[in-house]
Structure 1
Amino acid sequence: MTEPTPPTPGDDGDAQRIIFAITAALLVLVVTYKVGQSDAPVQAPVEVAADAAFSPPAESTIPAGPDGDAIRRGRLIFTASAAHAGQYVGNGLTCSNCHLDAGRKADASPMWAAWVSYPAYRAKNGRVNTMEDRIRDCFLYSMNAPASKAGAPPPFGDDIYRDLQSYFAWLATGAPSGKPLPGRGFIKLATTPIGHDPVRGAIVFAGQCASCHGANGQGQANPDGSYTIPPLWGARSYNWGAGMTGLASAAGFIKANMPYGEGNTLTDQQAWDVAAYVDSRERPRDPRQTGTVESARKQFHPKGDYYGQEIDGKMLGS
């Protein structure tokens, strides 16, 4: 870079000298800034792999104070539902039986992914749902609230919803919103050429699942009535309105997560067949059923599950 030309002597020499000095100083600043820029390391934007799942914060970071208290209460309700929301639980399940690792595990319908996805339209009830709506439905169907002491889910506005939502919001700390997150919900398995079959599924269940869930699928109950391993069908399991009665959801969950701690060890075919076996067993009635099973099937179960079908000489759902 060439130096600036000095001023020509004259009557206004002082003014010119001042202008020259200012110009030189500005040039020094510009050169210094450019050199500083070139010497500084360039930090590339941080990119997350498209298939990388979000990592929720560690439990040790739950804050002190009222907010943290609500988060901790929400986690207790989520992981020990009968102990902390028992009046609204009508079976042997907890929220974390389906939303594994206290709602943290990717591909097990994690709550950090659900939190940033609502409000959202749900075809199941034909309207936009808030997170409170969604939680209420989980009590109604998955926790079989009609068989609970209260006979229904928690009323809207109950502190149970506040505490659970506090926990979900904390799990989603730092999660991007406005787009589906990898690991949300359950994985979607392609259908197989030979379809799904409860008979084949019974064989896989006996070899891979019965050691934990029992040969009769009733899980492992504790003396206090809680369950170490949840029942998969029967009076103490989810009712016919639950999302897990859908074969695609059940197969995706089983493939990615079962046997527990050994997910992705079953083949796709085995996952579909086990789902067919589990979901072709009887369970509590769908709370939406007000008339016949046939009419409820047309309205609420047009495809994708065994509700209203005859298995072993009995119509399921009746």
Structure 2
Amino acid sequence: MTIRRKTMALAGATLVAGISLAALAEYETLVELGYPAPREGELVHVPPTMQDLDEADIHPELKQVIRRGHDLFTNTQQLRGENVFNDMNCSSCHLGEGRLPFSGPVWPAAVTLPDFRGKNQHVNSLEERLAGCFAYSMNGAPPAYGSDDMLALSAYHQWLAKGVPMYPDQPIYGRGFPRLDEPEQAPDYARGEQVYLEQCAICHSKDGSGHYQDGKYVFPSPWGDGSNNWGAGISRTFTMASFIKYNMPLGQPMSLTDQEAWDVAYYINSQERPQDPRYTGDVRETRERFEATFHKHTLYGTERQHDGTLLGDHANMGEKKEMLPWNLGVPRFEDLKD
């Protein structure tokens, strides 16, 4: 009966070669929790685990590098003060060690990059995509391209993609944070605050400062100096709403209605956070410059619904003492345009 349910749920989907029925049990559990089943034509991949790495027939030194990448991914705070300037780990947004569908699983990046990225309007490599996470989500400065840490993180991403063809033709099941339909009612600050207090504050605190134990954070800050800056992808309301719907409250995914997810996302993203590293010195000018490619989906540079505060109108960079250099958005291949 279990095998039959799996077969029915995955009917018409394309399974990556070598995928086992035991591994597919992960997906059956997701469907039972209310996640969408794979659709016909979608590519289904269950990423290998660290136990699989132990048993893999690859060079021991490569295993060490992949393990280092996993360690950095799940405990990025070890780079705090050098590459990370907030309370986040990579796994704060990419749950389940970056393996979980509908939670921004990271392995698709390894098989779909290089590719054009609208956010910075040029073709990005895997390393540049990782650099973006450090510059925005970690409110930090990325490890140098080609450095040991960047190589380790890249290796971990590629290990998770083991067996998947490069540039797959099929849509990938559970990729990213699948966008929710537009809400029936416009997102509302007051409704979102109520949902936050009832469903989120127990882990993330009423003031959004997160939860700490023995000086170490257990649950991250959804806003404030310990959170992502205004340039992070999750500062887009539709991205935050999707992340919340499919992943929150922790252990109770899919328990909020779509409207509740939109409302609480709107509330969270109406709070202040560190400055966008692309800041020109004027928030309205910065919004206008990057509105078409990014900020049209954020509340940055707009007046907050309930009190008229101009969001992002500050030079606060969180723990960073200065606006650190960043290497994103730099024009590439200008000669090809001739």
Which category of TM-score, normalised to the shorter sequence, fits these structures?
Answer: 0.7 to 0.9
**Kept in 1: contact 2:84–2:139 (CA 8 A):** yes
Q: Which residue of 2 aligns with 1:230?
A: 220
Q: Post-superposition shift, 1:181?
A: 1.2
Normalising by structure 2, report the TM-score.
0.75
CA distance in 2, matches of 1:47, 1:55: 12
Distance 2:166 2:243 in 1: 24
Within a 5 Å distance, the mapping from 1:104-183 to structure 2 comes to 104-145=99-140, 152-179=141-168, 180-183=171-174
TM-fit CA distance, 1:157: 1.9
Partners of 2:80 and 2:123 lie apart in 1 by 26
Aligned counterpart in structure 2 of residue 260 of structure 1, from 232, 247, 250:
250
Instruction: State the partner residue of 1:22.
Output: none
Contact 1:93–1:143 under 8 Å retained in 2 = yes
TM-score, length-normalised on structure 1? 0.80
Deviations 1:193-235, CA, capped at 9 Å, x for gaps:
21211211000111111111111111112334x3110000001
Distance in structure 1 (CA, Å) of the matches to 2:187 and 2:123:
33
- Write the distance in 2 (CA, Å) between the matches of 1:84 and 1:239: 17
2:236 paired residue number: 246
CA displacement at 1:84 relative to structure 2: 4.7
**1:252 is aligned with what amino acid?**
S
Partner residue in 2 for 1:15: none
**How has the CA–CA distance of structure 1 residues 262 and 176 changed in structure 2, closer, same or farther, with 3 Å as cutoff?**
farther
Q: Distance in 1 between matches of 2:211 and 2:145?
A: 33
1:292 to 265, 278, 282: 282
CA drift at 1:46: 9.5
Partner amino acid, structure 2, of 1:82: Q
1:251 positional shift: 0.7
Q: C-alpha distance in 2, partners of 1:82/1:215? A: 23
Q: Is the 8 A contact 1:112 1:175 kept in 2?
A: no
Written as runs of structure 1 = structure 2, the 5 A alignment for 1:189-208 is 189-208=180-199
3-state DSSP of counterpart to 2:218: strand
Partner of 1:308: 301
Shift of 1:314: 2.0
Larger radius of gyration: 1
Change in CA separation of 1:46 and 1:281 when aligned onto 2, cut-off 3 Å: closer
Runs of 4+ in 1 over 4 A off after TM superposition: none
Q: 1:220 aligns with which of 201, 211, 216?
A: 211
Give yes or no for contact 2:184–2:259 (8 Å, CA) kept in 1.
no
Match of 2:24 in 1: none
SS of residue paired to 2:112: coil
User: Among 47, 71, 94, which residue is 2:66 paired with?
Assistant: 71
Contact kept, 8 Å, 2:238 with 2:297, in 1: the verdict is: yes
> Identity rate of aligned residues, in percent?
42
1:63-90 CA-partner distances (Å, limit 9, x unpaired): 4611000000000100000125652100
One-letter code of the match for 2:185?
I
The answer to whether the Cα contact below 8 Å between 1:196 and 1:272 also exists between their aligned partners in 2 is yes
1:80-127 superposed Cα distances (whole Å, 9 cap, x missing partner): 001256521000000000000110000111011221111111111000
- The RMSD of aligned alpha carbons is 1.8
* Aligned match for 1:317, one of 302, 307, 312: 312
C-alpha separation between the residues in 2 aligned to 1:283 and 1:314? Answer: 13
1:275-295 deviations in Å (ceiling 9; x for gaps) = 000000000000001231000
1:297/1:59 CA distance change after superposition, 3 Å: same
Could you say what secondary structure the match of 2:242 adopts? helix
